[in-house]
Amino acid sequence: MPNKIVVKNLKKSFGGLEVLKGINLEVAEGEVVCLIGPSGSGKSTLLRCLNRLEKITLGEVVVDGHPISDPNVNINKVRENIGMVFQHFNLFPHLTVTENITLAPIELKLMDKESAKNKALRLLTRVGLAEKAEVYPGQLSGGQKQRVAIARSLAMNPDIMLFDEPTSALDPEMVGEVLEVMKQLVADGMTMIVVTHEMGFAREVADRVLFMDDGYIVEEGTPGEIFGNPREERTISFLNKVL
Amino acid sequence: MEFFNVLVQYFPSFSVALVETIKLTVVSLLCASVLGVIFGMFKVSGLGPLKLIANTYIDIIRGTPLMVQTMIVFYGLSQVLRPLGFSWSSLGGAFTAGAVTLSLNAGAYMAEIIRGGIEAVDKGQMEAARSLGLPYGKAMSKVILPQAFRMMMPSIINQFIISLKDTSLISVIGIRELTQNGKIIAANSASRVMAIWLVVALFYLVICTFLSRVAKFVERRVSYAK
């Protein structure tokens, strides 16, 4: 299968602090990759470099054939094809659920208002929130907000979805409903990169699990290998703490 | 009693002057909003030269009195630009000069209000908008500014009140607004000077109180649960 994402020797510094110290990664079409590791290990930064929410300090990132580390690439066009879901949902509070979902497709003239609305309704049905189409985000629970956020990303028909700790800000009883929606996406063959602390989810749906620590990918393998038979000292000690 | 006599007797003339005051305020505030958005955006742009332009403008306005600004715009510009055929009288006279001055003045304060409002919007909002593929301008106009404006509404109305009272200073160049009207009436009626100025004060008080009520109402209307 062709590679959707290729990362070569990616380095990222904030001021003098080097957060990513040389990342190499290839993600195939339809692959589900989970990034695990302790806080501050660079997981989120790596994810945010993939749609250039973080400027790339050094190295090469190619998404869908577009070298996004090149400043001349039209990043907006590339981003249309990469959905991103945030820990804190980041729904637009001044817009209704439907408007949240239709804003980008309409503004970017990918759809007219009518078809964008229909699409929003289909997506809301898919995430189980059709009855919330006309409410404002403030009236939703955390789990509902995150499902709307996923629907909002899907409205752009992305090939790739990035999830940045999508369940970390949720009350425990709402984690399941969001993971359920994500599992549907996996079943549909979406290429996904998920930064997560949900080891159960990673074990169940990931094709590959990457363990990051201190700016490096320390170990990678199938969920069976990483969770069943980790080789690196740091992986073992991290998994002992979280499992 | 004198107060009521003055109020009744000069009500028509003060009403005309009040309209002038409001016209001056509204026109200036509209222009100031445009200036405020432009220079506010300059300040949050993160681009050195734009920030420098905005900061210079804001520093000059904040560092000089409105009355002096008025003199520079009205008399100073007339003198310097006269060789080029410029004159305020061909552009609507003192009213235009006053509106220009007040716009420039309030624009600087509005820029600060708008910058504050934009910076108060959670930065995840911009990230979410950009990650959907929206360009910076669209993300700003469709996502950030609508939220920022809600937060800024009370400050904007407050600026409205300040500018409304500032029109009083602009009377120096001879616009017959409330204060100037008071001066003219008082000049012919020295024995009733206290009553006349109390009437002037009352007009300002009523309209400013009304505006702050509006501010409170708007504040309640635009707030929404996060």
pLDDT tens figures, B99-136: 999 999 999 999 999 999 999 999 999 999 999 999 99
How many Å apart are CA B53 and CA A174, to the nearest integer? 49
Is the predicted pLDDT of residue A139 greater than 90, yes or no? yes
How many Å apart are CA B125 and CA B223, to the nearest integer? 17
With CA atoms as reference, report the closest residue to A27 among A241, A217, A184: A217
How far does the CA of residue A16 sit from the closest CA of chain B (Å)? 20
Residues of chain B found within 8 Å of residue A108, distances taken between Cβ atoms: 133-134, 138
Indicate the residue type of B175. Answer: I
Antiparallel, parallel or unpaired: β A160-164 and A191-195: parallel
Question: A89: phi > 0 → left, psi -120 to 50 → alpha, else beta; which?
Answer: left
Cβ–Cβ gap A79/B131 under 8 Å: yes
User: What is the pTM (predicted TM-score) of this model?
Assistant: 0.81
With CA atoms as reference, report the closest residue to B101 among B171, B43, B203, B18: B171
The pLDDT tens digits of the residues spanning B182-226 come to: 888 888 888 888 888 999 999 999 999 998 888 888 777 766 544
The pair of three-digit structure tokens given for residue A139, joined into one six-digit string: 């009236």
Report DSSP letters for A160-216, one per residue: EEEEESTTTTS-HHHHHHHHHHHHHHHHTT-EEEEE-S-HHHHHHH-SEEEEEETTE
pLDDT at residue A1, rounded to an integer = 60
In this complex, is the C-beta atom of B41 within 8 Å of any C-beta atom belonging to chain A? no
Cβ–Cβ gap A107/B146 under 8 Å: no
With CA atoms as reference, report the closest residue to B69 among B38, B109, B27: B109
Is the predicted pLDDT of residue A223 greater than 60, yes or no? yes
How many Å apart are CA A42 and CA A44, to the nearest integer? 6
Residues of chain B found within 8 Å of residue A53, distances taken between Cβ atoms: 127, 130-131
The pLDDT tens digits of the residues spanning B26-59 come to: 999 999 999 999 999 899 887 889 999 999 999 9
Partner-chain residue, chosen from B125, B127, B133, that has the shortest CB–CB distance to A104: B133
Is the predicted pLDDT of residue A107 greater than 60, yes or no? yes
pLDDT at residue B223, rounded to an integer = 65
